Structure 1
Amino acid sequence: MRFHSLPESKRYADTAAEYQILLGRHNTVLTELFADHLVHIVTMSFVPDEGVEVFSPTDPHALNPGSRPWTRLREDDDDDPGGTMHLHVSERRWKPGSVDPLLLAVADDECAGVIIMDIDLRRLYHPYDGGADVILASPQERDALKTAHTDWLSTHPLGL
């Protein structure tokens, strides 16, 4: 399911109050999913075939303290020349506010490809500029989370 990080599906925060709302929503859902449990936090950077690593304006790995290289994935696309995604992972006990700098960088479209997940890979949280996609282990768990935060859901018929 998809949650929007600001009222009326506004994509980007403009004021300190909007940033507080945005972080409040992210931390509320993350805490409901992972309260005091171990989580993996995955960050991604991209190296095109030309060989020069393209960091977004903010280095996502620097915002993921204790992260270490995990794997590389090759990406080829008919429209793009291709390259390699470098994934780093860290493990920590979830605490509200513990990834706020990373969430803010994602919200401001300074980095992307972040995934926060429990160590059993049953719950995944993927923030993006405008909200977050959540994947849960069961329809019951999904429905309970939807019910708890209906005003944060998209009004689009497909939930996007």
Structure 2
Amino acid sequence: MRFHSLPGSKRYAGDETEYAIVLRRYNTVLHELFAGGDVYVITTVWSPEPAVPDHRTGADHWHTVLVRDDPDPEFRAHAHFFTARLPWRYGCVDDLLREVAGDRVGNVLVADTRLERVHHPYDGGADVLLRTAEERDRLRDRFAAWLSRHPLGL
């Protein structure tokens, strides 16, 4: 299911008032999904090298995947996945979410520790994966005003 971050499906916040709306929407859905539990915050660093780069947040390296194997080293791409486990509380990842909303960081996931619920924020909104259709429908109905009006839900 896809939620939009701003009214009218606006993609980027233009001022602090709009950033406040973006963070409120992200956090409201995240809190609905994860209140009272721990979450994994998964981030990705891309590099042409298989060596694990430093990660600015101090998260632990989880896994590296060669995404594009090319004989020319300039065109190789390694995705280095980092994880941090933390108790969920409203606003605890605001700095990261603000970076995502401004398209300065991408490929972020927030998930419960069983990986049954996943929140994927991006510039413009968030995709949410849930365990059941019933759970999806409850979340959809609760935050219907934040859904796309596009017939395909995009």
1:122·1:137 contact (CA, 8 Å) conserved in 2? yes
Residue deviations 1:99-119, cap 9 Å, x none?
Answer: 000000000000101000000
Question: SS state of the match for residue 105, structure 1?
Answer: helix
Alignment match, 1:114: 108
1:90 to 79, 84, 95: 84
Superposed displacement of residue 151, structure 1: 0.8
The alpha-carbon distance between structure 1 residues 86 and 14, as it changes in their structure 2 partners (threshold 3 A), is: same
**Cα distance in 2 between the residues matched to 1:20 and 1:85:** 31
- After TM superposition, the structure 1 = structure 2 runs for residues 17-32 of structure 1, keeping only pairs within 5 Å, are 17-32=17-32
- After TM superposition, the structure 1 = structure 2 runs for residues 136-155 of structure 1, keeping only pairs within 5 Å, are 136-155=130-149
Alignment match, 1:12: 12
Q: How many residues align?
A: 150
Question: SS state of the match for residue 106, structure 2?
Answer: coil
1:49·1:81 contact (CA, 8 Å) conserved in 2? no
Unpaired runs of at least 5, structure 1: 54-58
TM-score by length of 2: 0.91
Letter in 2 for 1:70: W
Does residue 68 of structure 2 align to residue 76 of structure 1?
yes
Superposed displacement of residue 156, structure 1: 1.1
Identity of aligned residues (%): 47
Superposed displacement of residue 15, structure 1: 1.1
**Cα distance in 2 between the residues matched to 1:48 and 1:145:** 39
Question: SS state of the match for residue 27, structure 1?
Answer: helix
Residue deviations 1:11-40, cap 9 Å, x none?
Answer: 000111101100000000000000020110
RMSD: 2.0
Unpaired runs of at least 5, structure 2: none
